[in-house]
Chain A
């Protein structure tokens, strides 16, 4: 065990910190779910790419730096501490890319990965349907082979970035005679495909959040199936592991948020007659939880680097970070007291965090997975 950063990692951290400091955008960014904000964020993706910082963990051939997992965690810590804008490309880079590396053909990798890295193609996720949320295997959207194409019909919903994304990765039913987990395929759909329409769904705070996508005899090249036809469930589950675990929400994000919360509490503690003891306890708890997530991640990372597999343990991480994030922001609002209802970054963060226990597989589903696959409790 050695919990110091070696000189190589310190050098990496400093390089990363310096670059982010020097390239940090000076202008205010609009929401990435508005038309203008989306393009602003795309520009930031381009800047990152030009500095080779958009996908540091990828091979250099695709725009990365071949970073190991420790370097990637350091990068994430620095990224979020620096206060630069969020990643509009997260769906592609975090959720789709690992499966393109695992399941994609060489041609798919060569086409999609560089464009994903540069922000030229920004991706949305097309998994959920009106009748298939947590019960993902219940999806009904069909894709029927017709010559060199698939003809897609159906509806996807709750697609983050779905309104403005350039491409959508979907799970579709390619074998109508198969049921549930069988007969599904992972289909990559360009947003300009004829027969696709998209509609924004407002979030509960009135901001445009996600989209619903309608497919009406939408034609997609059969070259855009990721993995084998019929293998869609396996591809999706591999992606879900990334989504719940390391790739989607690295510790750096929460460490930065916990540090902001600490500063907020320290400032309020100086202006008011000291902090309320219970609120102080909550602030400290949030800070400890961010550290716990950080060290659990480093612990898991050491196992992964030794050839281990994250597997169902990703569900433990997903429940933990989503509930930590929500509690952290709820504490911030309690600190703000009467001002909590007035729009602020903390209120935005709270509304965003409210979604955490719902998206990427609800925490109820995750707890079932923990109980059945980690603890081995009987399914029936």
Chain B
């Protein structure tokens, strides 16, 4: 029993944090909202270069041979930075699915950054993120996973409150899809929920840091609003949510990487997503309330993370849905 990250994990996390700090500023995110493809120029290539996209591919396939324990740490940083790319979909779900299926002609460009892969799982609902700008979609079809080329897709755009999520309803001709033999739908769904939970924790951390900074600066009645107990307690509650959801995310990452029992694995993932969704919901509410009117504006950057929080909290199952899955694992469903 040793519940901590290795130095290697920490160093990788630090590298990725620096990449995001340098290349994915709030300004870059806003620019991506205005662009046709919704991407941050250059970021994908850098993520490929430092190995992020290849984290979960085996070394013999040209990857880093790491597992979910490493990837959740990076996705937490992606949440913190508000990265508008389909990074979780690509690196945490699509890459290992392509790898296990031995689809090297599809995997190689995904690792090198030559392609972007998104996901269409039933557990993610009808709205597929970044389907128009992706080169490939890993889709759930007849209880298995298939890979669909961009040319074989019909996409219908939908708006999201979160401009970092370009949503599309998609359809495709199943005969034009590549079957991914050996890629497990339930495992993909667990990875997606886990990766989303990790991002939720990162978003919550960002909202907390931003708000702590704001209430320390902002003065009313002659002193920082952060001196008032009502404000302090809001933010202490946010910290509590983060403190007790992050270890569940790390624990679930370990389960996905090491546990052969899919019921226990699913239970651990759902516990993590339920807590992380609740934590980020709480963070969004408190951050907005503690900012007051300025936080309610489009101009102020807080909205970037509020919207990430709102969308990711519900993505791949909200807290209630995941608690239902835990209820099932605990024998509490009829």
Interface residues of A in 142-172 (CB under 8 A from B): none
**Contact, CB under 8 Å: A280 / B327:** yes
A368 contacts B1, CB within 8 Å?
Answer: no
Contact, CB under 8 Å: A1 / B5: yes
Q: How many Å lie between the Cα of A70 and that of B232 in the bound state?
A: 33
A288 adjacent to B274 (CB under 8 Å): yes
Q: Which B residues are in CB contact (< 8 Å) with A281?
A: 320, 323-324, 327
Q: Please, which residue of chain A has its CB at the minimum distance from the CB of B325?
A: A284
| Least distance between B238 CB and chain A CB atoms (Å) | 9
Binary per-residue interface labels of chain B (59-91) against chain A in the complex, 1 for a CB within 8 Å, 0 otherwise? 000000000010000000000000000000000
Q: Is the CB of A5 within 8 A of B244?
A: no
Please determine whether B240 and A370 come into contact, CB atoms closer than 8 angstroms.
Answer: yes
A284 touches B332 (CB 8 A): yes
> Could you mark each residue 1-18 of chain B with 1 if its beta carbon is under 8 Å from any beta carbon of chain A, else 0?
111111000000000000
- Contact string, B315-334, partner A, CB cutoff 8 A, digits 1/0? 00000100110110011111
Selected interface stretch from A17-25, A114-122, A234-242, A261-269: A261-269
Complex formed: what's the CA distance from A6 to B1 in Å?
Answer: 7
Give B1 Cβ to nearest chain A Cβ, in Å.
5
Q: Any chain B CB within 8 A of the CB of A302?
A: yes
Q: Chain B contacts of A320 at CB under 8 A?
A: 240, 243-244
Chain A contacts of B326 at CB under 8 A? 284, 287-288
Separation of A220 and B38 alpha carbons in the complex (Å) = 75
A367 near B254 (CB under 8 angstroms)? no
Beta-carbon contacts under 8 Å, B277-313 to A: none
- Tell me, yes or no, whether A364 is within 8 Å of chain B by CB: yes
Q: Can you give 27 contacting A-B residue pairs, CB < 8 Å?
A: A1-B5, A1-B69, A266-B332, A269-B334, A275-B332, A280-B327, A283-B332, A287-B330, A288-B271, A289-B244, A295-B250, A299-B4, A299-B246, A303-B4, A316-B239, A319-B236, A364-B229, A367-B232, A370-B236, A370-B239, A371-B232, A374-B239, A377-B215, A377-B216, A377-B227, A378-B226, A380-B223
- Contacts A280-B332, A377-B216 known; list 15 others, CB within 8 Å: A1-B69, A1-B250, A2-B1, A2-B2, A5-B1, A6-B1, A266-B330, A281-B327, A288-B248, A288-B326, A295-B250, A298-B3, A319-B236, A372-B232, A377-B235
- Residues of A participating in the B interface, judged by any CB pair closer than 8 Å: 1-6, 9, 70, 262, 265-266, 269, 274-275, 280-281, 283-285, 287-289, 291-293, 295-296, 298-299, 301-303, 306, 313, 316, 319-320, 364, 366-368, 370-372, 374-380
